Amino acid sequence: MQAKSRLYARRLRGDIGPLGIDPRTRLPGAILAPAVSLTGADQYYDEASDVQNFEIGSRMQLIRGRVFYYARVGAVAIANTSRGVKNLIYQHVEGLPSPAAVAPVAPIVAAGALQVAVTVAVTDGILADGAIAANELVGGHIVIFPFGVQPRGINREIVANTATSAATTLVMTVTLDRPLPVALAANSTAALMASEYATVGQDDEWKTVLGLAMVEATALQYIWLQTWGPTWQGAQLNVGDLDGTHPNNHQVVFRADGSMGLHGLTGAGAIDVTTAYAQHAGYTMATLNPYPPRTAPAPQRGAPFIFLQITP
């Protein structure tokens, strides 16, 4: 058995494990990837830290299935754990209406290359001024469209990037996590975004919800966001209430304020076009018992316990 275990261990690839230890039971409680703490210190999902202990976007999976991702809070504190936490920054290098040019190198970027030179616009970057700091896009994503070559759309993760500035150069070198499958000729283009976990927070705008914070956090702290599995979440009326008016309504979506509501319905049960196209959040796990009929017919809500379905 020991020899077989060693054999299986050699087949493991990537930076996964070791198992985290549950502080109460002292038994294995979580799997981390990447597993190596940047500081040597542990930081559990219910802790906020002034120090970055893991790479942004690191993943923690608890043994019973809940999943968390490591994120950095933006300039405004997270003060409400009952509301979703959002990606606060826009796409760094836009693909529309005109994708950024991938600068060719004499005259192509060869197949197998791990770096591409990208020419951004003066309106790209967080402040739309052409300025992107060195490694600001690490952990983010790039899609490259090779001119005249199939397949169209090469998706890669960004490992590193050099800085840009409208005053000096709008060309940055982007390092990819995997090599290019084809050569890139002139007129190839790309679109890029930073890690979705690089700057997170709460606001009332229609931005993408990334997960739920398990702890309040001040500006620029580092936290884990739950993205998958059983949880509790602030919700509107009728969520978890399967009375005779709303039978079988289990799907929930994120509303503008980060709370959850029924898909396509208002709290009063009327059709709501805003939630009809809102971001999917998950489904209710348990509901109020509608039998026997309650004496108060007004809309109610369950706890409600939600099975969160953002990123597994």
* Predicted model pTM: 0.85
What pLDDT does 11 receive?
39
Do 87 and 196 touch, CB atoms closer than 8 A?
Answer: yes
Q: Tens digits of per-residue pLDDT, 23-72?
A: 555 666 788 888 778 998 889 999 999 999 999 999 999 988 899 999 99
**Number of helices and strands in the chain (H, E):** 2, 18
Q: Decide if pLDDT at 1 tops 70.
A: no
What pLDDT does 269 receive?
64
Nearest to 211 by CA among 194, 193, 223: 223
State the DSSP code for 132: B
What pLDDT does 195 receive?
97
The string of DSSP codes covering 10-75 is HT--SS--PEEEPTTT-SEEEEEES-S-SSS----TT--BSS--S-TT-EEEETTS-EEEEEEB-S
Q: Is 261 helix (H, G, I), strand (E, B) or coil?
A: strand
Domain ranges of the chain: 14-87+200-229, 100-193, 233-312
Nearest to 194 by CA among 116, 115, 87: 87
- Please give the sequence-ordered ranges of beta strands (E in DSSP) within 120-208, or none if there are none: 141-145, 154-161, 171-176, 189-193, 200-201
- Binned at pLDDT 50, 70 and 90, residue 275 comes out as confident
What pLDDT does 97 receive?
47
Angle at 85 between CA 174 and CA 125, to 5 degrees: 30
The mean of the pLDDT values for the chain is: 83
Do 123 and 175 touch, CB atoms closer than 8 A?
Answer: no
- Binned at pLDDT 50, 70 and 90, residue 22 comes out as low
Do 281 and 255 touch, CB atoms closer than 8 A?
Answer: no
Instruction: Centre a 10 Å sphere on the Cβ of residue 168 and count the other Cβ atoms it contains.
Output: 10
